[in-house]
Amino acid sequence: MRTTAKVDYAVRAAIELARAYPTDGSRATPLTRQAIADRQEIPSKFLEHILADLKRSQLVGSVRGADGGYWLNRPPEEITMADLIRAAEGPLADVRGERPDALDYPDDLAVLQRAWIAVRANLRAVLEHVTLADLRDGKLTASVEALAADPDAWQLH
C-alpha cells in the first residue's frame, strides 16, 4: 500500500480536529483551515481540498465567516483511519480500480485474486480498528501495537 501525502494530511488534519472535539458534550469550537495547516505543517491550499473531501464524506462539518472553521461531525471514537482514507482517496485496496472480489481472472490465476482479497482484508483489519481517538490519545489496540512494535512478528508459514 502506498500512502499519499493527501492521505497523510487528511489523517493529520482529522487528528487536529479530534484534539478540539469537546469531551463534555458541548458543541465543538470550529478550527480554521489556517490553524490546522499551521499546527500540522500542511500547505493551506492543499488542505482546503482535503477538508472539502472530508466534508463531502460527512466526516467534517464547516461554517464560513469570522467565527467559522471546521469540526468533526462524529466523536473521534467513531471515525476510523479507514473512513479518512476512503474519504480522501477512495477504496482501501483495489486492483486497477476494481475491488479484489470483483476481479475476473482466468482459473489458473484465481490464487492471485485470493491474494489481493487477503491484502485488502488485512489492511481493513488495522485501518478499520484504529480510531481518531486512538491517534489523538497516542494509543493503539494491543494487537496493532504489537504489529507496529515488531512488523516481522506476523509471518505466514
At residue 62, what are phi and psi to the nearest 5 degrees?
-155, 160
Note whether 28 and 120 are within 8 A (CB).
no
Nearest CA to 21 out of 130, 139, 131 is that of 131
Hey, where are the domains in the chain? 5-153
Q: Give ∠ CA 80-124-56 in degrees, rounded to 5.
A: 45
Name the fold adopted by 5-153.
Answer: Arc Repressor Mutant, subunit A (1.10.10)
pLDDT tens string, the chain, 157 residues long: the values are 678 999 999 999 999 999 999 988 888 889 999 999 999 999 999 999 999 999 999 999 999 987 789 999 999 999 999 999 999 998 887 777 778 778 888 888 889 988 888 888 888 888 998 999 999 999 888 778 877 777 666 654 3
